[in-house]
Amino acid sequence: MADVHLDGGPLGACATSWSVRRAREENLAEINHVIAASKSHWDYPTAYLEAALPLLTIDEPYLTEHLCLEIVDEHATVVCFFAVAEDGGEHLLDHLWVRPDRLGQGIGRAACEHVFALARRHGWAALPVLPDPPAQGFYRKVGFEDTGMRVKSRVPGGPSFSVLEKHFDDDDEAAEILAELADAAGRPAGGRHPGSTAQSGA
């Protein structure tokens, strides 16, 4: 995959040049630093973070098995890591982490748009994600919808994760019916964790 160059930055700020490329093995330490800093940006208890972060660590096998991408700035510094994992024939946005000091600059949206373009090119019907609860607003803004399903954290005592989905076809009826059934029952509908090689829900 060739690097994809983007221009970004908030309106009125100095222009910043980013590149989207396949995540590189030599950047694993930097990638995991971005994940730890981004997850720790939210006001989670220390004990929860200490248990959750090892479950989110990216290693060489994960890079090999999944579509892993990084966004680097003009200094080749990793400012974002995102990954798509395959779960039972379906695709899952398993990771999307932006360095906290780069939030609000359009980097997360650029990552999502890159994945959406891939999804449309390859004919994926939908793309689910299990975002950290404080990040749900961002995912809704870029087009994800609440399925009504919830899954518990893989960390005992951790937060409950909403399953959001981005649809790439014109048939949203099934998702709407599922959400309506969940509301009518007064409980989450059919929530489950992704496959064993995915890392969402920690």
pLDDT at 169: 75
Entry pTM: 0.80
Give the bridge partners for 18, in sequence order: 6
pLDDT at 198: 65
Closest by Cα among 126, 179, 188 to 161: 188
CB distance 78 to 71 below 8 Å: yes
Query: From CA 189, how far away is CA 181, in angstroms rounded?
Result: 8
> Residue 190 in 3-state DSSP?
coil
| 148: pLDDT strictly greater than 70 | yes
| 164: pLDDT strictly greater than 70 | yes
pLDDT at 187: 42
Q: Which of 48-57, 64-73, 154-163, 168-177 has the lowest mean pLDDT?
A: 168-177
Does 131 or 17 have the greater pLDDT score?
131
**pLDDT average, residue stretch 112-131:** 95
**pLDDT average, residue stretch 14-34:** 89
Chain-wide mean pLDDT for the chain?
84
